Amino acid sequence: MLLKDKVAVIHGAGGHIGGAVARAFARDGAEVFLTGRHRDKVERVAADIAAAGGKAHVAEVDATDKAAIEQHLADLVAQTGQLDISFNAISVFGHLQGTPMVEMTEENFSLPPLTAIKTNFLTTTAAARHMIARRSGVILTMSSTAAGLSGRDRVFHTTGGFAVACTAVEALSRTLAGEVGKHNIRVICLRSDALPETWPLEGRPPEIAEVEKYMNAGTARGLLPRLSEIADAASFAASSRAAAMTGTILNLTCGSVMDSN
Asked whether residue 188 is domain-assigned, the answer is: yes
* Of 28-42, 126-140, 201-215, minimum mean pLDDT range: 201-215
* Residue 112 · residue 165 · CB < 8 Å: yes
| 210-218 long-range Cβ contacts below 8 angstroms, 24+ apart | 214/156, 215/256, 218/153, 218/256
- pLDDT tens digits for 44-87? 999 999 999 999 999 999 999 999 999 999 999 999 999 999 99
- Supply the CATH number for residue 100's domain: 3.40.50.720
Lowest model confidence (mean pLDDT) among 47-51, 211-215, 218-222: 211-215
Domain count, the chain: 1
Q: Domain for residue 1, yes or no?
A: no
The whole-number average pLDDT for the span 109-124 is 96
pLDDT category of residue 92 using cuts at 50, 70 and 90: confident
pTM of the model: 0.94
Phi, psi torsion values for 254, nearest 5 degrees? 60, 25
- How much is the pLDDT for 52? 97
For residue 207, is pLDDT > 80? no
**pLDDT confidence of residue 131:** 98
Please check whether residue 231 is in contact with residue 23, taking contact to mean a CB–CB distance below 8 angstroms.
Answer: yes
Report the share of the chain in percent with pLDDT over 70.
97
Q: Is residue 71 part of a domain?
A: yes
Please report the pLDDT score of residue 156 as a whole number.
75
Inside any domain, residue 39:
yes
User: What rounded mean pLDDT belongs to the chain?
Assistant: 93
Query: Is 191 within a domain?
Result: yes
The yes-or-no verdict on residue 97 having pLDDT over 90 is no
Range of the domain at 166: 7-252
Residue 204, pLDDT > 80, answer no
Per-residue b/e over 238-258, b at no fewer than 16 CB within 10 Å? Answer: bbeebeeebbbbbbbbbebbe
Domain membership of residue 168 (yes or no) is: yes
Q: Which one, of 172, 76, 73, lies nearest residue 129 by Cα?
A: 73
CB 98 within 8 A of CB 158: yes
Burial zone of 138 (CB within 10 Å; 0-12 exposed, 13-18 middle, 19+ buried) = buried
SS (H, E, C) the chain: CCCCCCEEEEECCCCHHHHHHHHHHHHCCCEEEEEECCHHHHHHHHHHHHHCCCEEEEEECCCCCHHHHHHHHHHHHHHHCCCCEEEECCCCCHHHCCCCHHHCCHHHHHHHHHHHHHHHHHHHHHHHHHHHHHCCEEEEEEEEHHHCCCHHHHHHCCCHHHHHHHHHHHHHHHHHHHHHHHHCEEEEEEEECCCHHHCCCCCCCCCHHHHHHHHHHCCCCCCCCCHHHHHHHHHHHHCHHHCCCCCEEEEECCCCCCCCC
Residue 87 falls inside a structural domain: yes
Give the pLDDT score at 210: 86
Q: What is the pLDDT of residue 183?
A: 98
Q: What is the mean pLDDT of residues 211-226?
A: 93
Residue 246: inside a domain? yes
Question: Using 50, 70 and 90 to split pLDDT, how confident is the model at 154?
Answer: confident
